[in-house]
Amino acid sequence: MSFFKKEINFLKLKEISDICAINLDNKYKNKKIFNTKNLYEATENDLTFFSDSKYINQAKKTTARACITSVNLSKELPSTTIPLLSNIPLINFYKIVNKFYPDASLDDENILGKKKIKILMQVKIV
């Protein structure tokens, strides 16, 4: 159960790649994503993100259909997870979370060390 009300049933990876300006192999464009979750909880229907090497063990075990991540970290994902390569994985993940959960609030988050930036919304994964 999520903290915020889910507004859409799914997004195709093509839509996600367009929203995030991420290149996507055409063979994946019609794959459907039904939710966003963390690396550990994500299933074959979900999108996750991986932006910090301290989560390598979780990344190697994820069952997510797709993962927004960097080129370097993408090597740690299982072959069953589609890597969506980004220079800003966390921000792009927030963009997609906001599509599923548009009522999520705007909030100041400390996501880049001590530098506070305005993020698209606050993620609550329950």
* CATH number belonging to the domain at 11-119, selected among 3.40.1390.10, 3.30.420.40, 3.90.190.20, 1.10.10.10: 3.40.1390.10
The pLDDT value given to residue 3: 67
* Opening angle at CA 13, ends 67 and 50, nearest 5: 10
Percentage of the chain lying above the pLDDT 70 cut: 80
Question: What is the rounded CA–CA span in Å between residue 73 and residue 64?
Answer: 15
Collapsing DSSP to helix, strand or coil, 79 comes out as coil
Q: Dump pLDDT digits (tens) for 71-101.
A: 999 999 999 999 999 999 999 999 999 999 8
- The residue-averaged pLDDT of 106-110 equals 48
- Binned at pLDDT 50, 70 and 90, residue 6 comes out as confident
Tell me: pLDDT of 114 over 50: no
Q: What does residue 66 show for φ and ψ, rounded to 5 degrees?
A: -145, 155
How big is the chain, counted in residues? 126
CB-CB contact of 60 with 85 (8 Å): no
Domain spans of the chain?
A: 11-119
> Would you say the pTM of this structure is higher than 0.75?
yes
Contacts of 75 (CB under 8 A, 6+ apart): none
